[in-house]
Amino acid sequence: MNSDNDLQIAGDLLEVPHLLQPPREHPATVAEFAGLARAIAADRAQWADLVRYDATTRWYHRLRTGPGYEVWLLSWVPGQGTGRHDHGRSSGVLTVLEGSLTEHTRRGARTLTPGAQHVFAPGYVHEVVNDALEPAVSLHIYYPGLTEMPMYPAAHAGAHASPSCAARPVTA
Ligand SMILES: [Fe+2]
């Protein structure tokens, strides 16, 4: 039984191209930014050979830029951390690629491992530390690109604040 309110599409929808949205070159939604991070994480050829470990300072590399956003690759040797900070007016997606990182917030601590993604809004305060015995690698997407990283006093014992974490460009 049909009525005027029924919509039926017969045949292959892909053969009706004017009904389909064109693929976007750049992400524009939270889900698309998270998807970009997952795609990069899954394609090790894009980043694995770029990673460097530096015991004297947190290492970072700008992997990609797009309209209003930046993608950063970071490495963390054991003990390295950000200090407690926010991200100014930037929102972000944090994705661990290798190893594990511990995130401290006022709600407590949690361990981030490969596959986990963490999305945060502007003004979100946290501290990220490599508490493990192995180096870690992470991917950070900021929208808009990170231009400031205000620092706060440590909120927990055992914080490992890197003196370089406020250097520009700032990432974490
Ligand atoms: Fe951060």
CA of 21 to the centre of ligand 1 (A): 34
Per-residue model confidence as pLDDT tens digits over 88-145:
999 999 999 999 999 999 999 999 999 889 999 999 999 999 999 999 999 999 999 9
pTM (2 d.p.): 0.80
- Residue 130: phi and psi, rounded to 5, are -90, 100
* 12 located within any domain: no
Instruction: For residue 40, give the 3-state DSSP assignment.
Output: helix
Percent of the chain with pLDDT over 70: 87
Instruction: Please report the pLDDT score of residue 167 as a whole number.
Output: 33
Q: How far, in Å, CA of 114 to CA of 72, rounded? A: 16
Determine if residue 160 is labeled as part of a ligand binding site.
Answer: no
What's the CA-to-centroid distance between 24 and ligand 1, angstroms? 27
If pLDDT is split at 50, 70 and 90, which confidence band does 164 have?
A: very low
Q: Indicate whether 83 pLDDT > 70.
A: yes
Q: What is the whole-number distance in angstroms between the Cα of residue 43 and the centre of ligand 1?
A: 23
pLDDT of amino acid 156:
54
Neighbours of ion ligand 1 (CB under 5 A): 172
H/E segment holding residue 35: helix 30-42
Residue 159 carries which side chain, given as an amino acid letter?
A: A
Cα distances (angstroms) measured from residue 107 to each of 50, 136, 148:
34, 23, 23
Q: How many domains does the chain contain in total?
A: 1
Per-residue burial over 49-75, b if 16 or more Cβ lie within 10 Å, else e, is eebeeeeeebbbeebbebeebbbbbbb
Quick check: is 30 in a domain? yes
Residue 6 lies inside a defined structural domain of this protein: no
Tell me the average pLDDT across 156-160: 45
Is 7 inside any structural domain?
no
In a domain, 2, yes or no: no
Residues 6+ apart with CB under 8 A from 107: none
> Is 94 inside any structural domain?
yes
Q: Is position 104 annotated in a ligand binding site?
A: no
Mean confidence (pLDDT) of the chain: 87
Length of the chain (residues) = 172
pLDDT of residue 147: 94
User: What domain range includes position 38?
Assistant: 25-143
Greater model confidence, 72 or 14: 72
Measured in degrees and rounded to the nearest 5, phi and psi for residue 71 equal -120, 125
Instruction: Assign 7 a pLDDT band (cuts: 50, 70, 90).
Output: confident
Look up the CATH number of the domain holding residue 61: 2.60.120.10
Q: Is residue 3 assigned to a domain?
A: no
Whether residue 159 is predicted with pLDDT greater than 60 in this model: the reply is no
Q: Is 87 annotated as a binding residue?
A: yes
